[in-house]
């Protein structure tokens, strides 16, 4: 005798409806970590030797995520990058080591750069769902991702 799993009661979603469902009634930013780099220099493994620094960076990052998740992309773009907004930078000005560590980006794209503490967060806006901020990488040591001069 075999046991049949219960039939799923979850509604079927048509793939063409994803964009509509994603943006329906909300404009706030949501985050995806699917394309976060695996290069330890540009993710939280950077701090594997210092738990105190890791905790400090992580807490600062959580604060920025909380703040950004209450904003729309328009709010973010309208704010100065020195006052919690973003800075849009071409990938071609980035350090090659940094660019090579990124997933699913092309050289003609721009990345959204957000300051948090003494660090930088690199985002790419989602293509299927425009509310999504794809978290790509971090710069924990100034100058390792791009020249700030």
Averaged pLDDT for residues 126-134: 91
C-alpha 97/C-alpha 71 separation (Å) is: 31
Report helix, strand or coil for 130: coil
What is the structure's pLDDT at 24? Answer: 47
| pLDDT tens-digit readout, 55-70 | 999 999 999 999 999 9
What is the model's pTM?
0.82
With helix as H, strand as E and coil as C, how does 44-83 read? HHHHCCCHHHHHHHHHHHHHHHHHHCCCEHHHHHHCCHHH
| pLDDT tens-digit readout, 85-106 | 789 999 999 999 999 999 899 9
Tokens found for residue 21 = 């469902």
Q: Which residues contact 53 (CB under 8 A, 6 or more apart)?
A: 47
What is the structure's pLDDT at 59? Answer: 96
**Residue 141: pLDDT above 90?**
yes
Q: Which residue has better confidence, 133 or 16? A: 133
């Amino acid at each position: 005798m075999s046991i049949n799993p219960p039939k799923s009661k979850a509604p079927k979603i048509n793939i063409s409806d994803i964009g509509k469902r994603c943006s329906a009634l909300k404009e706030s930013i949501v985050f995806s970590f699917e394309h976060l780099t695996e290069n330890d220099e540009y993710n939280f493994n950077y701090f594997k030797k210092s738990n105190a620094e890791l905790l400090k960076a992580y807490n600062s990052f959580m604060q920025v995520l909380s703040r950004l998740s209450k904003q729309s992309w328009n709010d973010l773009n309208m704010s100065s990058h020195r006052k919690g907004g973003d800075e849009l930078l071409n990938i071609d000005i980035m350090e090659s080591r940094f660019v090579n560590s990124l997933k699913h980006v092309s050289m003609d794209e721009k990345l959204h750069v957000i300051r948090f503490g003494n660090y930088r967060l690199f985002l790419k806006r989602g293509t299927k769902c425009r509310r999504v901020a794809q978290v790509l990488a971090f710069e924990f040591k100034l100058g390792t991702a791009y020249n700030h001069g």
